[in-house]
Chains A and B, each alone.
Chain A
Amino acid sequence: MADYYNYLIVVLLMVIGLYIVMAQANLVKKLIGLNIFQTSVFIFYISTAKVSGGTAPIVVEGAELYSNPLPQVLILTAIVVGIATMSLALALVLRIKRAYGSVEEDVILEQDKPC
C-alpha cells in the first residue's frame, strides 16, 4: 500500500481537478480545478524521481545515492511556465467578464444563442 500511496493520491487529485473543470460553471473555479490537475502531474513526476535512501541531487561528501534530477528539472520549468499560461487564461476570463458581464458558463452560453 505504502508503495503506491503517492500514485493513488495523484490519481485522486487528478480526477478532483478534472471534476471541477467539468462540473462547475464558474470560469475562475474551472481554472482553480485546472491548477489542481496540473499540480497532480507535478506530484506524479516528482514522486517517480524519488529514490529510497537517496538525497537531493546536489553533490555532497559521502552521499552514494541521489534522487533523479531529470524529472525535477522538467517540473521546475513546468511550474513557472504553468503560472505564465494560467495568467493568460485569467486575462481571458477578465475580458470575458468585460464582454458578457458574467463569468458563469450558462449565462455566457445563453447570450451566445442566436436569437
Chain B
Amino acid sequence: MFAISTLLDISVLTLLVVVALAMVRERDLFATVMLSGIYGLLSASFFVLMDAADVAFTEAAVGAGIFPLLMLTVLTSVGRYEAGARRIRILPLVLMLALAGALFAAVVQMPPFGAVDAPSHAHVAQRYIHESPDEIGIPNMVTSVLASYRGFDTLGEVVVIFTAAVGVVVVLLGGRPKTPQQSSQALMAEHKVLRIVGKMLIPMILLFGLYVQFHGEYGPGGGFQAGVIFAVGIILYAMLFGLSNAQRVVPLGVLRWLVALGVLIYGSVGLASLLAGGEYLNYSVLASDSVTGQHIGIILIELGVGITVASAMVLIFFAFTRATRSRDELEE
C-alpha cells in the first residue's frame, strides 16, 4: 500500500518536471498553454495523493481550466509564436544552477517527507485536528480553519481577489481598443459536438458548484472551490455560445455588483459578531449556542466568498474577451 502511493507520488512529480521542461523548450505559445493545462491537472492529481482534496478541487478548476483559458484569450491578441530563435542564456542558467544547489543543500536538512513529528505538525495544527470537531462542530477541518480560526486572513484574501478583479476591469475596459484586432467570433461556433456536449455538461458543472458550496462543511468544498467551479461553467458557456449570449445571462453590470456584494457579506458577518458582543468574525456569539453560531457564521461567509470568487473570475474572463475583440464585433 505504502509502496504504491510512493510510486504514484514519484511518477506524478517526475511528469511535472518533464512537462515544465517541455514548456521551457516550446516556442509555440499555444502549445505551451496546453502544456500548462496538463501541468495544472497533474498538480491537482498530486494534491489528491497528498490528502489535500480541497486544494485539488481548486487547482483542477484553476490550473487546468481558468488559467489556460485566460492565456488563450490573451494569445488571440498577442500572437501565437515567440519571436527570435531559441537560445540558452548562460548567466540565468548559471544563477539557477547555483540556486538549485543551495536549495538542495537546504531541503535535505528538512524533516523527512511524511514525518509524523515534523515541526509543522506541532503547535496550532494539533489543536485544529483535535479540538475543531467539538469547537466548531463540523467535520471538515480545512473549512473550520479557513472560515473560522483564520477567518480574518481569509477576509484579506477575498479583498485581494476583489481588488484584482477591479484592477483588471480598470486596465482592460478603461479605454476602448484603438486598433481593431483579428476576429475571434464565437470561439467554438463551428464545433457541433463540442456545443452539444457542452450544453449537457454546463448544468451539471453549475449543480456541482452549488453542491461543493453548500456541502463544504461535511466533505471537501467551500466558497473558493465552488466559486471557481461555478465560474468555469459560465466561462464554458461563453466560449461555446459567444460572449453576447453569456452577457445576457450575467450582465457585466450585475457582475460588478456581485463582486462587491460577496466582500460586503463577509465584512457584515464580522460587524454582526462585533455588535453581538464578541470579537470581529467571532461567530460563536451569533446564536445562543456557540456551535450553532459557528455554523451560521461559516455558511454566511462561505456564501460571500463563493459569490466574490465566482463573479470575479467571470468578470475577469468577460473583460479579457471584450478587450481582445474589435469594436464592430461587439456591436453585432
Contact = CB atoms under 8 A, between A and B. Distances in A.
Given A9-B16, A76-B54, A83-B67, A71 B120 contact: yes
Interface string A16-45: 111110111111110111011001001100
Range of interface residues on chain B? 35 or more
A32 to B, nearest CB: 6
Contacts of B202: none
Interface of B: 2, 6, 9-10, 13-14, 16-17, 20-21, 23-24, 29, 32-33, 36, 39-40, 43, 46-47, 50-55, 58-59, 62-63, 66-67, 70-71, 74-75, 77-79, 82-84, 88-89, 92-93, 95-97, 99-100, 103-104, 107-108, 110, 112-116, 118, 120-121, 124-125, 128-129, 133, 139-142, 144-146, 150, 153-154, 157, 160-161, 164-165, 167-168, 171-172, 177-179, 218-220, 222, 224-225, 227-228, 309, 312-313, 316, 319-320, 323-324
Interface of A: 2-20, 22-29, 31-33, 35-36, 39, 42-43, 46-60, 65-73, 75-77, 79-88, 90-95, 97-98, 102-104, 106-107
B32 A93 contact: no
Contacts of B141: 57-59, 66, 69
Nearest to A21: B92
Given A22-B95, A69-B141, A73-B145, A4 B59 contact: no
A91 B125 contact: no
Contact of A79 (B50, B53, B55, B71): B55
B56 to A, nearest CB: 9
A62 B272 CA distance: 38
A29 to B, nearest CB: 6
